[in-house]
Amino acid sequence: MNPWEAFKEALFPSHVACLACGREAVLEENGLCAECSMGLERFISAPPLKGIDGFTAVYIYNDVSSAMVKRLKYAGAKYIAAPLGKAIELPEHWHIDAVVPVPLHKRRIAERGFNQSELIAKAMCRGYGLKMDTGLLIRTADTPHQTRMSGAARKRSLKNAFRASGACAGLDILLVDDVRTTGTTLCECAAALKKAGCNSVYAAAVCFAVPLNKEGYYE
Ligand SMILES: [Zn+2]
């Protein structure tokens, strides 16, 4: 922790502020106040995705889980990445050689200052003793913000947006993302990895967004 972070931590200790609503409260083990904790919905299962050999998530994307992700992404509350990453539970039968966070374009990283999926993946890796490798997959196209795009538009904007390194040949890879909505991003990442010779591609996200209707997602 650098001196500025230590200073901020002293002024606004992260451990007394609820990770979702930010209010000071007695927190549950998951870092949430009792009210937010009750609003969490656990992920159970999701439809399979092309090129993804297994998928898991922690929460259904709703008011509470989206508040945590949004505070991390848009309010710079980087400390939220650790509890989110630690909450990911991987199926025991997954063999994983390397963990790859879904990459952001360098322009987006410059804008936000960090890749939230990388911070989440780092925390998850610590818990499992897995190795993260951010060099295996890069985002070559700077795609527009996707939350309000339809499925077809997402697919078009992400086509060939990722490039994988030949170093992933023969490896079993776990992709880590903050939120899975349509799954297009994960599918495009998997396609690039498999094109480069990757063996299996699994994916873990903190949240899974259940579609509300044909085109719409909870935001
Ligand atoms: Zn709360």
Confidence (pLDDT) at 215: 61
Confidence (pLDDT) at 211: 78
Average pLDDT over residues 8-13: 66
Percent of the chain as helix, strand, coil, to the nearest 5: 40, 20, 45
What's the gap in Å between 136 CA and the centre of ligand 1? 37
CATH T-level assignment (fold) for domain 42-208:
Rossmann fold (3.40.50)
The total of other beta-carbon atoms located within 10 Å of residue 50's CB is: 11
What's the gap in Å between 106 CA and the centre of ligand 1? 33
> What angle is formed at CA 176 by the lines to CA 40 and CA 50, rounded to 5 degrees?
100
What's the gap in Å between 212 CA and the centre of ligand 1? 24
pLDDT at 2 over 90: no
What's the gap in Å between 39 CA and the centre of ligand 1? 9
What's the gap in Å between 13 CA and the centre of ligand 1? 15
Instruction: For residue 109, give the H/E element and its range.
Output: helix 106-112
Q: Using an 8 Å Cβ cutoff, are 13 and 6 in contact?
A: no
Greater pLDDT, 60 or 29 = 60
Q: 161-201: per-residue pLDDT in tens?
A: 999 999 999 999 999 999 999 899 999 999 999 999 999 99
Q: How many helices (H) and strands (E) does the chain have?
A: 8, 6
What's the gap in Å between 33 CA and the centre of ligand 1? 4
Q: Which residues surround ligand 1, an ion (CB under 5 A)?
A: 18, 20-21, 33, 36
Residues β-bridged to residue 26:
none
Average pLDDT over residues 129-151: 83
Q: Which amino acid is at 117?
A: S
How far is 53 from 135, CA to CA, in rounded Å?
A: 21
What's the gap in Å between 134 CA and the centre of ligand 1? 33
What's the gap in Å between 37 CA and the centre of ligand 1? 7
Greater pLDDT, 11 or 6 = 6
Q: List, as one string, the DSSP characters of 126-191.
A: HHHTPPB-TTSEEE-S-PPP-TT--HHHHHHHHTT-EEE-GGGTT-EEEEEEEEESSSHHHHHHHH
| DSSP SS3 for 60 | strand
Q: Report domain extents, the chain.
A: 1-39, 42-208
